[in-house]
Amino acid sequence: MALYNSFEELKVDKPELAQELLEVFDKGEWQESNLSVYNTLEDFAYYELTEGCYIDNNLVDQDYHSAPNPIDYIDLEALGEALVESGDESCIYRTEGDQVVTTDWGWS
């Protein structure tokens, strides 16, 4: 995940993505908020499992006493897709290239 403190930071690093966001959402206050960019659906799902909405399950850095880590057996792409589809579309956007962008502010 890459965290950008503003749209201007994102525009310098990923101009094509910045242009896509402008075409979809127009200009707005979201441009001043933090933007998180996940390169793949899998990256988004992994973040949510380890640092996001599932953090209380403590799946990361666990010692399972030689038992397999359950994250290794989760279809992260399918989970990422489901999280985007069921998530708050005012804060989550799936790009044409299957990146996921989230904003603290909301797109409107």
Give the predicted TM-score (pTM) of the model: 0.89
Q: 57 in a domain, yes or no?
A: yes
Q: 33 in a domain, yes or no?
A: yes
Q: 30 in a domain, yes or no?
A: yes
Q: Which residue has the tokens 């994102």?
A: 10
81-105 residue pLDDT tens: 999 999 999 999 999 999 999 998 8
pLDDT for 8: 97
Q: 96 in a domain, yes or no?
A: yes
Q: 108 in a domain, yes or no?
A: no
27-74 residue pLDDT tens: 999 999 999 999 999 999 999 999 998 888 877 767 778 888 888 899
pLDDT for 67: 86
List beta partners, residue 26. none
Task: Tokens for 9, please give them.
Answer: 């930071």
Range of the domain at 88: 2-103
Q: 79 in a domain, yes or no?
A: yes
Number of domains in the chain: 1
Q: 17 in a domain, yes or no?
A: yes
With a CB cutoff of 8 Å and minimum separation 6, the contacts of 76 are 41, 42, 45, 46
pLDDT for 17: 98
Q: 23 in a domain, yes or no?
A: yes
